[in-house]
Structure 1
């Protein structure tokens, strides 16, 4: 099948039974927004016009073979895991509608705080999603204005639902690694643990809230240090999740500072629960750049 420059089948003789290689191209570009190396195997067999567009999107030399491009295998990213509770009957059609609603709520909230959709990496995992974005997004924005935007958009979405949705959100930052199966790394593991941690869902259930958010101690410390739009450290309560995850900071967006069960509470002093590199320092390691201001 011949493909025109606009990536449409050429001429009446084009066989409609042959899959159009341009189908899903926008999703491929979105998946490559963080420079994921697992895009590489898909680029070699692509028609020249499509390969050139991928190369252009990634800032590569279109004259060279795209499949041999030097793409980073790791990057510093802010990672968010969102687990969904509630909703209607558990069938595939309903889950598809729920995923579409969740995408609208989350992407809309990111747009509200100035993070474009093209800057986001998205994976559907179980009854929720995994999101990642470049580490130069201020953490104070993600712990300040973004949860408020999610809360407002979810409130409006739930107004038309018979069974409202509730969200458990876990957040961390650090190096992530790209493979054929998606992104991996400590930040991914911690954000997943925080989203389903017992203190998180206990808060959601006990307070009958629509969102419970848990941020890693490292992410909260950076947000406190540098601030951000609408970020209020006093809206969070510190608690200990477990030996592997350590301390975390909990919030119910749109509500006063939550009270944790005494099983999870500890001193609310802002101190790192484990030795490590700050978000800004880690970003410099990957970019080699120094900045007068971190964000």
Structure 2
């Protein structure tokens, strides 16, 4: 019986690993370097976040999207009460909660972020944008923290949030054109556009203008400020987790330079960090 249980959980974690392999090569590149038990925990957490994203993306109307988030929230409540749904992702996550001092609240924060996406409105200010980033990505930092900093006495809560926000700002800056063209969303704050007398209509022309570059750079500099702020705290993560945390942060930070190298073209080019560049970053911090 015990053998069957071990085999099942092994398959459950493999299910989660396949999801991260498919959807986030940079994240997988960094965290597959963790010891196996920790890597599996990260994959299970990622699978939850991916499920939240996919449920929203597959629904066709706002009503259906909100219903999908509500359904996942009910599943999370069942999980919290010790009655998880019989599904590989939930079984794997239950195992993670048994092995680490996990907090359920960040998982609810993530679903709040999903609802903010469904009922999207363009952020008015940078602080409004960062609030959104906290719910969709700072929450992920908080989910991962008990796994990556299980042995520290230092409170790394703000570090995890700041790193998540920096990464989400980076995502936004990489995907400006794609988000607008594919789903009609502009995450650049209204206040930043107004400073440059730059309109959403101009954004739709897909032209890299001086105005656009100045707006883009202000957000990029904020992301870089957060990356720099958290750097001294890497040493407080578990010894076996420091390199993957720093590697993931630096690969994400590298996306900003990838956009710059492409002359800020977020409209017609897919900006990414190449495998060769990932390897260079890895060697630099190893």
> Which has the larger helix fraction?
2
> Which has the larger strand fraction?
1
Q: TM-score, normalised by structure 1?
A: 0.26
